[in-house]
Structure formats: structure tokens, C-alpha cells
Amino acid sequence: MMFDCGRKSEYMGGQRENFLRLEALDSTLSSSSDAGVIKSGFSIDKLGHGGHGSSTTSRSFKRDRKLATIVTTLRTVIDAFYLMHMALQFRTAYIAPSSRVFGRGELVIDSAQIAKRYLQRYFIIDFLSVLPIPQYVPRFLRMVPLTSELKRTAGVFAETAWAGAACYLLLYMLASHTYLQSLTIRLEEMRVKRRDSEQWMHHRLLPQELRERVRRYDQYKWLATRGVDEENLVQSLPKDLRRDIKRHLCLALVRRVPLFESMDERLLDAICERLKPCLFTEHTYIVREGDPVDEMLFIIRGRLESVTTDGGRSGFFNRSFLKEADFCGEELLTWALDPKSGSNLPSSTRTVKALMEVEAFALTADELKFVASQFRRLHSRQVQHTFRFYSQQWRTWAACFIQAAWRRYSKKKLMKLRQKEEDADESEGSHETGGGNSYSFGAALLASKFAAHTLRGVHRNRLAKTARELVKLQKPPEPDFSADDAD
């Protein structure tokens, strides 16, 4: 049996066969894509044997309403879920790519920024995908970048549809297997490291508290780096490429630190090249008061507590908090700026503790010595003022100095007020007694004056003692910028 778009007849073996016209069938089938599934059937009987006999031609088309209802309902439910997905995209936070230098990055929770990002990237494609139209347009839009990338890398693409389909299938299979294998390898490496760590802690009989801290650090480091040794990976690259990568990753973060924002590009490149990322878990002591300072930390993300007791002096306690763009370990900068400093590292004047997960950049003592030598030749006075303003040690000393001055002023003001009250009382007593005072009253007056002078002396001694205690906090040593003035 044979079909054609027209109606014709020809003699084949003495018989004439009719060929059915199928325009109606084609139009009916093409219009059924949006209305549901149509069940159709047709039959053609022969016209008889050897003549113009009667023919029985029947065509029947029947709409399967039950199947159409099921398909339409299913499509409506899927579209409803997709609309919910689109609505959630306007409320789904994302990590800013510019902040993801290492670790988890900064989470953007601003609704306006989230909506702007979604509208600029995927909203149009998602909107076209949910419309009740053939889904070839959004699929084509998603396939165009892959095709262009394939042409750019390979230089050739399949000429036929079957070859293209096979190519896409092969790429999908290879990408899926590669991705799953990479995940499995990383997870297996993590399991091996964790098992080794557990065996070592069990062998050394570490207490449960220390074991929990080790596990927490391993987990945080895995979440931040996914098992990739970033430092060794970057160090294996050429120097020029390594400098460009460090500049791309760290320059924007380094400029947040007020101590570095006024430096030129050459010094910033030198700083970025020497910075090393550091991770600290919650309740970790970064440095303790009295311990030698071997690195200077620049906070990128997190919150820390800085406490000092001025060398354990009783009655003195100062507490402050460090946040993003702050730094600690400024004693090392003073040591590095001193050209006469020896190999002995300075002692920390504060105890710094992480209140949450902290990500920071560290400059070791040797690296900071090199960078500090460049500081003294560029913007020295500006760096000096910036260092004083943002240094926790200088802030503590300034606060204590202002507090001592205010207390001295308050004490002097109180003493003057008491002196005026005593003088007023004496003058009132002399006016009341007049010139005929008795001997006993004169003795009482002298006794009251003696007591007043004695109390005044006691108050002076207390004031001097308080002033000595407040000034006991030594002024921090200043960075040596004399080389700049000499030049």
C-alpha cells in the first residue's frame, strides 16, 4: 500500500488502484500537538476485481479525551512547580563571585541584588520554558553556548543531525562520568585523611575536647577548599602567572585594609604575592598575651575578640572586637620597621580569640620585614597616622590616657568645690560669732580647720595614686620613620 499527497490512478497488472489523499490527515495530526493526543485509524479496501466495482473507503478519527486530560493535568502540575521554582529564585541567596577568593565567600541576601542577578541571567530562558509553546526555543538557547565552545576548541562540528546527536550524547556521558569520578576521588581522599586522623588521635589518647576541635577544623577546611591544596597549586605555576593570579584574587581584599589602601601598585603586588590564606575555627586562640608574634593577620571574614590585661596587672582589663578589614599583630610591624631590630620577635600585648569561623591573610615576620622596608620609603607619615588610628594597642593606650586625664580633671573640680564650701562655712561661722568669741569656740574652729586640711591632703594623695596607676600603661613604641626624614 502506498500514500501520496495527491490522488492518482494507474493500471498495474490490469487493475486500477486508488491512492488516498492525506491533506486532511496531516492537518489533523499537526493540530493535535496542543490539544492532546489523538487516536486515529484508517483503512483502504480494494475496489474490486477487474472492473469499476464499488469501493469501501473508511476513515475514522477519535479524540482520546481521557489521555488528553491526563497529559494536560500533568503538564499543568509541572508548570506550576516550575513557576514556584522561578518565584524562589527571587529569594535564593547566592555567593558573590568577587568575594570567593578562598573559603565559602560572602553570601548575598539583599533581595534587590538577588532579583537583579536572576533577571539578567536566567529569567528569560525560564520564562520561555514555562510557556505552553514548543520547547525548542529555550533548548536551542541552552545549546548555543555548548556548540560555539565546541567549534572554538575543536574547530569542527558535525554536519548531520545524527552525528550531532551522537556527539552530544558522547559529551554528556563523558562529562557525567568525569564529574562523578572526580567527586568520588575527593570524597575518598577526605575519608582516608579523616580515618588517619581518627587513628592518630586514638593512638595518642587525646581527650574528647581536642578530638572535637580537630574534627571541626578538618570539616571547615574541607568545606572551604574541597580538598584542593591551593598554595601548592599556585606555587607550581610560573612566577609571572602566579603574581597575576594572586593579584586577581587578593588585590580587592587587600585594598579593604586601611593600612594598605594608600600604597602604589608595585607594593600591592609584592604584598599580594606574599599573603597566605589562613582558616581559624570557632573558639580558637590565634595568639596569647606574652607569646611571641610571628605573623600579622588581616581579617577578611569573621569576628574576633581582643583582650589585654597589661601584663597581668590587677584591676586592668580591656576588651575589643575585630571584624572585617581589621588587623592584629601590629607589634610585628613596629619590630619590622625598626632597622636595628634583631632576630628576637616581639611579645604580644593582647590575647586574640576567634568568636566564629575566621578567614584571614597572614604576613609572616620575614615577609613583613621586606614589605615594611618598602613602607619607610613611600607614604611614611600617612602610614604612621593610619597605623596609630587602627592599631588596637594604640587605641587602648589612648583610651586609658583620656580616662586618666578625665579622672584628674574630675578630682580637681571636686576638690575646688569642696574648698569653696569649706571657705563659705568658715566665713559664716566668723560672722555669727563676731568679735566676742569665747576661748572654747576658737579652739573648735581651729580643730575644724585642721581636720579640713587633713582631709584635703588625703584626697590629694588618693588623686596622685590614681593618676600613677592610670599612667602605668606604657605608651606603645612608635614605628621608626626617621629614615624617611633623613632621605
27 domain-assigned:
yes
| Stretch 242-250: mean pLDDT | 80
Residues 120 and 170 both lie in one domain: yes
415 domain-assigned:
no
Residues 288 and 148 both lie in one domain: no
- Phi/psi for 439 (5° steps) reads -65, -35
From the DSSP assignment, how many helices (H) and strands (E) are in the chain? 16, 14
Residues 255 and 128 both lie in one domain: no
4 domain-assigned:
no
Query: pLDDT tens, 274-313?
Result: 888 888 888 888 888 888 888 888 888 888 998 887 666 6
Residues 247 and 379 both lie in one domain: yes
The closest of 262, 341, 348, 342 to 297, measured between CA atoms, is 348
DSSP H helices in 161-238: 161-203, 208-225, 230-235
Query: pLDDT tens, 142-199?
Result: 556 556 655 555 555 445 556 666 766 766 666 666 666 666 777 777 788 888 888 8
Final residue of a structural domain among 339, 372, 393: 393
Point out which residues pair with 16 in neighbouring strands.
11
- Report how many domains make up the chain: 3
Residue 386 sits in a domain whose CATH number is 2.60.120.10
DSSP letter assigned to residue 37? -
Residues 133 and 164 both lie in one domain: yes
3-state DSSP assignment of residue 204: coil
| Whole-number Å distance between alpha carbons of 136 and 144 | 12
3-state DSSP assignment of residue 4: strand
Write out the DSSP string of 300-356: EE--EEEEE-TTT-TT--EEEEE-TT-EE-HHHHHHHH-TT--SSPPBPSSEEEESS
* pTM recorded for the entire structure: 0.48
3-state DSSP assignment of residue 195: helix
| Residue range(s) defining the domain that contains residue 339 | 230-393
| Whole-number Å distance between alpha carbons of 163 and 263 | 58
Final residue of a structural domain among 357, 378, 393: 393
Query: pLDDT tens, 316-361?
Result: 677 888 888 787 887 787 777 766 777 788 888 788 999 988 888 8
